[in-house]
Homo-oligomer: A and B are copies of this chain.
Amino acid sequence: MIKTICTSLLFISPIVFSSSQPNAKDDSWRKLDPNKSVVMSLPHGKIIIELATQFSPHTAQRFVELVKSDFYNDEKFYRVIDGFVAQAGPQDGSKKDKKISPINIEDEFSPKHPWSFTRVQDKDMFAPQTGYKDGFAMGYSPGTNKAWLLHCPGVIAMARETAKDTATSHFYFTIGQAPRYLDRIMAVFGRVVYGMEHVQAITRTASIEGSSPIDKSTYTSMIDVSMMSELPKSEQMSLEIQNTESQTFINNLANKRKRENPFFYKELSTNIDICQTPIKTRISRK
């Protein structure tokens, strides 16, 4: 009976990892580019980030420069709020950050017309259209021809002060229900494609009212943050990401929308929350 329960629930899960044999000819997976990938080593595991260099070029470039200069090594996650964000950067009192010039925000962009992407949902609560482009969850407004990266769980974005063009080096991962109200006003520049469970295990730094303050010595440190391409070959990981432009992916989305399995015994909405439809990663066989 337990097995049946597992099968049923696994069937409806959009994020379990396929055990099907890959078809050598199909285009449903693409290789992760090591030049666009950052490996962050935490005490409890490794995280791999794919940078959205095509959508937030200057912000991604800033992050790459800092990573290459070992800027983040030994820095800490100093603001980690369960269900919201894990934010890191030089500790309060550090002078490191002051040497870094603020950058102009990349909050949205005007793509070349006509814009096309793998459409997921119209009239999403926060965007006229949502869809995927190159594996990233995007919003799009046909009225203004503006596109932007969404704050789905597992994205990385620059923190900033109240004024928009104030980001320097501090960044956050989203670790809970997508804070979509931050879309279009923050510079999202990548997403976690491997090790999200390690992001979730970063020590929370916010205590609840009435409990003892959190001891700063327990904050999670970044042991090393490096470009994948600059690691010794033996330490690089060869990953593949679902190709969100492939027909297989598009068909899977259409099937998900229908909810045809008898598990869905009632007429349900055919809407899809793009942030609840993650893109799978797998380790290459090479």
Contact = CB atoms under 8 A, between A and B. Distances in A.
A249 B62 CA distance: 40
Contacts of A183: 268
A234 interface: no
Contact of A271 (B87, B126, B210): B126
Contacts of A208: 17, 194, 280-283
A251 interface: no
Task: Please tell me how many copies of the chain the complex holds.
Answer: 2
Contacts of A172: 9
Contact of A197 (B16, B82, B90, B107): B82
Contact of A185 (B79, B200, B201, B268): B268
Contact of A4 (B107, B121, B161, B272): B161
Interface in A128-165: 152-154, 159-164
A29 to B, nearest CB: 10
Contacts of A168: 1
A5 B266 contact: no
Nearest to A6: B79
B1 A98 contact: yes
Interface string A43-74: 00000000000000000000000000000000
Contacts of A201: 200-201
A23 interface: no
A94 B152 CA distance: 38
Nearest to A90: B2
A176 B153 contact: yes
A177 B249 CA distance: 20
A81 interface: yes
Nearest to A212: B283
Contact of A16 (B19, B81, B170, B210): B81
Interface stretch (A31-39, A109-117, A217-225, A257-265): A257-265
Given A197-B204, A276-B177, A164 B2 contact: no
Given A125-B269, A181-B269, A5 B170 contact: yes
A230 interface: no
B17 A185 contact: no
Contacts of A90: 2
A5 B162 CA distance: 8
A191 interface: no
Interface of A: 1-6, 8-10, 12-19, 78-79, 81-85, 87, 89-94, 97-98, 107, 121, 124-126, 152-154, 159-164, 166, 168, 170, 172, 175-185, 194, 196-197, 200-201, 204, 206-211, 259, 261-266, 268-269, 271-273, 275-276, 278, 280-285
